[in-house]
């Protein structure tokens, strides 16, 4: 037992501790935001969510459980409580597992490296023993800085750089007193094998490996459907995102979807798609130069008309499970980002971006919302949570009952 009062301590957008009570409350809120389930009764389809503890993967897990009535497995990579608290994803996973249990959904969470074959073996074993040897859905939502290639042991590192020439962008930072500043930074272009390395981490290689690994063991159900998360984004961030190293990886992921779609269509009557989601404040997205400024301005323009990840993922599940037909663009992608890229929204954000300075930023961007979103990633700034009270940090990883 280790109870303590947890105060937010941060360096920039990174916090050293997270709050178990706040994380639990946020997971509850996400669950409550999901409209009534569309389940036909019975056990529900079997789903595997990779990257289940944060951002879009957490939204996929909660929407899958609460809306589509799935059971199955969530995989993520989180740190347990020790001297410091556990990571926020540790506590969110414990809270998600508890809600799943309360709602009678058999959901097992595995903590470890999704890129490894050991994790793939573990999932294959669980599918065979616990879930009838058939997987109906796989949602792939990993954002990681590194991947070890299981065949060679090589470690690849992804970078966030423009391709071809240096790129100067405005960026949003907060000084040590939390005062916002708009700065200009110039990012050097990719060099050496930066592009290949980034594609090796954030492209489609590991997603494809998961699908073929499970297919080779006959663990995919007829009609098996898989979706991986992608992003396009605004022309304002294109040099660093879509036309940059990470965008090249997303292009690879989307090409992988087309290959897998053909393969699964022939063998199982199945599907593989990418889901292009909209900008959201997550630990991964705030690491991308310019994105914090862009998202703050987007919120300034759209306010609560921004569609939260949980609502986007309800829509994705509805399309994957056939509540509504799959609605694909010409490139075969589900588009959940149309509200972000709508011309009116983009021209308003572009206008604000061009005039944004340290002096004007608080009027142009919704920085209160942005700062709260950052804190909420760690379970802080959650209404109804008493941050002056001591709270147990030694929350165990959820173990399945029977
Ligand atoms: N955040 C955005 O604005 C945005 C927009 C559109 C699409 N996306 C896409 O959504 C996906 C997820 O991004 P996010 O922003 O939600 O990220 P995130 O940082 O919030 O979550 C990443 C998840 O991946 C897991 N993870 C990381 N490394 C792992 C590993 N080695 N093994 C197992 N799990 C691992 C983490 O535990 C966490 O659950 C990415 O493909 C991203 O490009 C993000």
Q: Are 68 and 321 in contact (CB under 8 A)?
A: yes
Mean pLDDT within 160-183? 94
56-60, 252-256, 282-286, 357-361: the lowest-pLDDT one: 282-286
pLDDT value at residue 320? 98
**For 188-197, what is each residue's pLDDT tens digit?**
999 999 999 9
Distance 42 CA to ligand 1 centre (A): 31
pLDDT at 40 > cutoff 80: no
**For the CA of 377, the nearest atom of ligand 1:** 20
Neighbouring CB atoms inside 10 A of 137's CB total 24
Distance 57 CA to ligand 1 centre (A): 7
Identify the CA nearest to 275 among candidates 224, 317, 325: 317
**For 322-371, what is each residue's pLDDT tens digit?**
999 999 999 999 999 999 999 999 999 999 999 999 999 999 999 999 99
**For 90-117, what is each residue's pLDDT tens digit?**
999 999 999 999 999 999 999 999 999 9
SS3 of residue 230 by DSSP = strand
SS3 of residue 214 by DSSP = helix
Residues near ligand 1 with C-beta < 6 Å? 51-57, 75-78, 89, 113-115, 141-144, 229-231, 277, 279-280, 282-285
Which runs of E-coded beta strand occur in 234-323? 271-276
Q: Are 151 and 133 in contact (CB under 8 A)?
A: no
Question: Atom 21 in ligand 1: which residue has the minimum CA distance?
Answer: 54
Query: Burial level of 292, CB count in 10 A (0-12/13-18/19+)?
Result: buried
Q: What are phi and psi of 392, to 5 degrees?
A: -70, 125
Distance 359 CA to ligand 1 centre (A): 33
pLDDT at 11 > cutoff 90: no
Mean pLDDT within 377-400? 96
CA angle (12 as vertex; 6, 16 as ends), nearest 5: 30
pLDDT value at residue 51? 98
Identify the CA nearest to 299 among candidates 257, 361, 377, 241: 361
Question: Atom 13 in ligand 1: which residue has the minimum CA distance?
Answer: 143
pLDDT value at residue 402? 59
pLDDT band at 177 (very low <50, low <70, confident <90, very high): confident
Neighbouring CB atoms inside 10 A of 173's CB total 15
Question: Atom 22 in ligand 1: which residue has the minimum CA distance?
Answer: 143
As a whole number of angstroms, the distance between CA 123 and CA 247 comes to: 29
pLDDT value at residue 114? 98
pLDDT value at residue 41? 67
How would you classify the pairing of strands 107-111 and 333-335?
unpaired
Which runs of E-coded beta strand occur in 251-293? 271-276
Distance 156 CA to ligand 1 centre (A): 17
pLDDT at 394 > cutoff 80: yes
pLDDT value at residue 400? 81
Identify the CA nearest to 182 among candidates 355, 298, 375, 369: 355
pLDDT value at residue 154? 97
Cα dihedral 279, 285, 291, 292 in deg (nearest 10): 100
pLDDT band at 42 (very low <50, low <70, confident <90, very high): confident
CA angle (13 as vertex; 81, 239 as ends), nearest 5: 130
Percent of the chain with pLDDT over 70: 99
Mean pLDDT within 221-246? 98
The region, left, alpha or beta by phi > 0 then psi within -120 to 50, assigned to residue 223 is left
CATH numbers and ranges of domains, the chain = 3-147+193-281+305-337+379-392 (3.40.50.720)
pLDDT at 145 > cutoff 70: yes
pLDDT band at 178 (very low <50, low <70, confident <90, very high): confident
**For 218-230, what is each residue's pLDDT tens digit?**
999 999 999 999 9
As a whole number of angstroms, the distance between CA 368 and CA 72 comes to: 37
Question: Atom 19 in ligand 1: which residue has the minimum CA distance?
Answer: 284
The pTM score is 0.98
CA-to-CA dists, residue 131 to 44, 70, 127, 264, angstroms: 11, 11, 5, 21
Question: Atom 27 in ligand 1: which residue has the minimum CA distance?
Answer: 144
Distance 47 CA to ligand 1 centre (A): 17
Question: Atom 20 in ligand 1: which residue has the minimum CA distance?
Answer: 55
Catalytic positions: 241
pLDDT at 239 > cutoff 90: yes
Q: What are phi and psi of 141, to 5 degrees?
A: -140, 50
As a whole number of angstroms, the distance between CA 223 and CA 270 comes to: 4
Distance 330 CA to ligand 1 centre (A): 25
Percent of the chain with pLDDT over 90: 94
H-type alpha helices, 113-242: 117-130, 194-202, 205-216
Query: 388-393 long-range contacts, Cβ below 8 Å, gap at least 24?
Result: 388/5, 389/5, 390/3, 390/4, 390/5, 391/3, 391/4, 391/5, 391/6, 391/19, 391/20, 391/21, 392/1, 392/2, 392/3, 392/20, 393/2, 393/3, 393/4, 393/6, 393/20, 393/81, 393/85, 393/86
């Amino acid at each position: 037992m280790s109870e303590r009062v947890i105060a937010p301590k941060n360096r920039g957008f990174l916090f050293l501790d997270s709050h178990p009570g706040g994380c639990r409350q946020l997971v509850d809120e996400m669950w409550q935001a999901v409209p009534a389930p569309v389940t036909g009764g019975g056990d529900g389809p079997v789903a595997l969510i990779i990257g289940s503890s944060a951002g879009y993967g957490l939204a996929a897990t909660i929407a899958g459980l609460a809306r589509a009535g799935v059971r199955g497995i969530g995989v993520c990579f989180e740190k347990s409580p020790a001297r410091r608290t556990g990571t926020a994803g540790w506590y969110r996973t414990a809270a998600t597992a508890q809600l799943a249990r309360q709602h009678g959904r058999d959901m097992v969470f595995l903590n470890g490296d999704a890129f490894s074959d050991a994790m793939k073996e573990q999932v294959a074993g669980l599918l065979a023993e616990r879930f009838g040897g058939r997987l109906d859905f796989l949602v792939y939502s990993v954002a990681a800085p590194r991947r070890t290639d299981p065949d060679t042991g090589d470690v690849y590192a992804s970078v966030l750089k423009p391709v071809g020439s240096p790129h100067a962008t405005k960026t949003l930072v907060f000084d040590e007193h939390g005062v916002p500043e708009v700065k200009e930074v110039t990012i050097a272009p990719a060099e050496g094998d930066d592009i290949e390395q980034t594609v090796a981490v954030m492209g489609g290689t590991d997603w494809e490996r998961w699908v073929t690994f499970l297919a080779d063991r006959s663990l995919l159900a007829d009609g098996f459907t898989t979706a991986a998360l992608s992003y396009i984004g605004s022309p304002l961030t294109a040099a660093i995102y879509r036309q940059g190293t990470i965008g090249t990886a997303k292009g690879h992921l989307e090409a992988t979807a087309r290959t897998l779609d053909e393969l699964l269509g022939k063998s199982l009557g199945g599907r593989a798609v990418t889901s292009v989601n909209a900008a959201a404040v997550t630990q991964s997205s705030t690491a991308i130069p310019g994105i914090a400024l862009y998202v703050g301005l987007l919120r300034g323009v759209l306010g609560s008309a921004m569609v939260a990840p949980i609502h986007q993922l309800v829509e994705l599940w509805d399309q994957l499970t056939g509540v509504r037909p799959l609605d694909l663009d010409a490139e075969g992608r589900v588009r959940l980002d149309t509200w972000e890229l709508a011309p009116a929204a983009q021209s308003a954000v572009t206008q604000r971006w061009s005039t944004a300075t340290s002096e004007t930023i608080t009027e142009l961007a919704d920085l209160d919302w942005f700062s709260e979103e950052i804190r909420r990633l760690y379970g802080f700034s959650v209404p109804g949570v008493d941050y002056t009270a001591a709270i147990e940090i030694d929350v165990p990883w959820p173990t399945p009952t029977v």
